[in-house]
Homo-oligomer: A and B are copies of this chain.
């Protein structure tokens, strides 16, 4: 970076807003998992939309690439700079204001750097609900949630971040500010431009603020743990419960026995909710806006039907909040527990819900053929057709040897996913980790149109280069 640019950036954001010493920058150059690392000319931390616009325009004028970054909790390296040392990391974390909450309109207007949990808390303080919920909610930001179209455990009922967004404010790659910050549930006055920026992982501009939907607060909740004979029963149980409980069904998580075994082994205090060993489990949550909604009766009659059909073999309904929390802890502990078993080769895929059984059967067979004894840890959001299908080495296997086979094993998972009309990235995006492999699973026409849009918005290619779009 030229001295001149550094000086002008400091003029815009103030001395404290530009970090360029190695110690100060280090936290911005590696993602939280330490899976991706880069270097940078500087980390710039603007405090307002106008400052973001000025920074982007200055970098554009100097031919310097900008890497937008939120909480840096992404799983695909989308917010990590490359190793050239010439890119500027644009951190939104100083822009964390809740600009407005309109209770009657059920919307909240927040800046991109706001931590997801702070938005959940602002909604709760107004007696409402912001339903996006995911593991990193204590540190991920709204801007990152938008850039990756984040999902999580509430999608079954409330949809992804895209579905929760009514308006956006975006600094375009040329420094112009696009104001789409409207809180309207209907607006058919032309192309819905905001949709382009959601899920674009910062390659078409920098999202600086958003208008998000709020929902009525939940006042009652019931959680159940259900033992299943096979994956087909999970799809069957989901259908029974949805037909029965409708919108009350707000959570439906699948866990393989292998997932549960890892949690029981590694998470202190974890207990198996149901005696005996069952191949699959479902974590079911019903919730309602009424205080006394009779949810236990609803879930129990749904389960009764599932038992009759053989879609469930055993079940426990949590007696209270503590038991419910213990059940959710089993689900939330999987990722950490698996890390204790050596490298975890992660896959985040979707297939149509109806094809989940076939997906599991085909991938598990092919993976076992490739690596006898491989431990496949499957868990995820059945209602979204979204499975986390993460691979651990055979007992006693060598870490490096297993890691070395990652590309080959991912191919196995992705080929089956593609054959079943699925997606190789459900809720994590492409970032830098999947942008090359996606070429084999997307039509050339998709990539052609995506490149055309990228060219339209960012002809010089300075906005988060090396992400999403294959070379």
Measuring CB to CB, which residues of chain A are less than 8 angstroms from any residue of chain B? 102-107, 127, 148-149, 151, 155, 159-160, 162-163, 176, 178-180, 182-193, 195-196, 198-200, 204, 215-217, 235, 238-239, 242-247, 288-290, 298, 350-355, 381, 383-386, 421-430, 434, 438, 441-443, 445-447, 449-450, 452-453, 456, 468-469
Given A182-B423, A446-B193, A456-B453, residue A350 in contact with residue B289 (CB < 8 A): no
Within 8 Å CB of A179, what residues of B? 443, 445
Distance from A282 Cβ to chain B, minimum over Cβ atoms (Å): 15
Contact yes or no, B106 A353, CB < 8 A: yes
Query: Which residue of B has the minimal Cβ distance to A247?
Result: B247
Cβ 8 A contact of A449, one of B159, B193, B385: B193
Distance, CA A434 to CA B189, complexed state (A): 9
B190 and A198 form a contact (CB under 8 A) = no
A291–B351 alpha-carbon span in the complex (Å): 32
A102-B353, A162-B192, A163-B163 given; name 18 further pairs at CB < 8 Å.
A105-B352, A106-B242, A148-B188, A155-B185, A176-B445, A184-B385, A184-B422, A185-B385, A186-B423, A188-B430, A189-B441, A190-B438, A190-B442, A191-B450, A195-B195, A195-B196, A453-B456, A456-B456
Which residues on the B side are within 8 Å of A355 (C-beta)? Answer: 105
In the assembled complex, how far is the CB of residue A143 from the closest CB belonging to chain B, in whole angstroms?
Answer: 15
Closest chain-B Cβ to A123's Cβ sits at a distance in Å of 13
Minimum distance in angstroms from A233 CB to a CB of chain B: 12
Question: Nearest B residue to A454 by beta-carbon distance?
Answer: B191
Bound complex: CA of A211 vs CA of B192, how far in Å? 19
What's the least CB distance linking A438 to chain B, in Å? 5
- Contact partner, A102, options B151, B180, B352, Cβ 8 Å: B352
The listed residue (B103, B198, B351, B428) touching A192 by CB distance below 8 A is B198
Residue ID in chain B nearest A203 by CB atoms: B191
Give 20 CB contacts A-B under 8 Å: A103-B239, A106-B353, A149-B188, A176-B445, A179-B445, A185-B386, A186-B385, A188-B425, A189-B424, A189-B438, A189-B442, A190-B446, A190-B447, A191-B200, A191-B204, A192-B198, A195-B196, A216-B242, A244-B289, A246-B290
A193: which of B155, B193, B450 is its contact (CB, 8 Å)? B450
B423 engages A354 (CB within 8 Å): no
Residue of B nearest to A386 (CB): B186
- Chain B hits for A184, CB < 8 A: 350-352, 385, 421-423, 426
**What is the minimal beta-carbon distance from A360 to any residue of chain B, in angstroms?**
14
Residues from chain B with Cβ under 8 Å of A427 in the complex: 186, 188
Is B423 touching A187 in the complex (CB atoms < 8 A)? Answer: yes
CB atoms of A289 and B442 under 8 A apart: no
With A178-B449, A188-B425: A353-B104 Cβ-Cβ less than 8 Å: yes
Residue contact A102 to B449, C-beta cutoff 8 Å: no
A459 CB, min distance to chain B CBs, angstroms: 11
With A and B bound together, what is the CA distance between A298 and B381 in angstroms? Answer: 31
Q: Contact: B191 with A352, CB < 8 Å? A: no
Task: Name the 10 nearest CB pairs between A and B, nearest first.
Answer: A246-B289, A195-B195, A104-B354, A247-B247, A187-B423, A186-B426, A105-B352, A105-B353, A185-B384, A105-B354
Which residues of B are found within 8 Å of A235, using beta-carbon distances? 104
**Residues in B neighbouring A446, C-beta threshold 8 A:** 178, 180, 190, 193
B residues in contact with A107, CB < 8 Å? 352
Q: Which residues of B contact A424 (CB under 8 A)?
A: 189
Max chain B Cβ within 10 angstroms of own Cβ: one of A155, A186, A200 = A186
Residue pair B104, A239 in contact (C-beta under 8 Å): yes
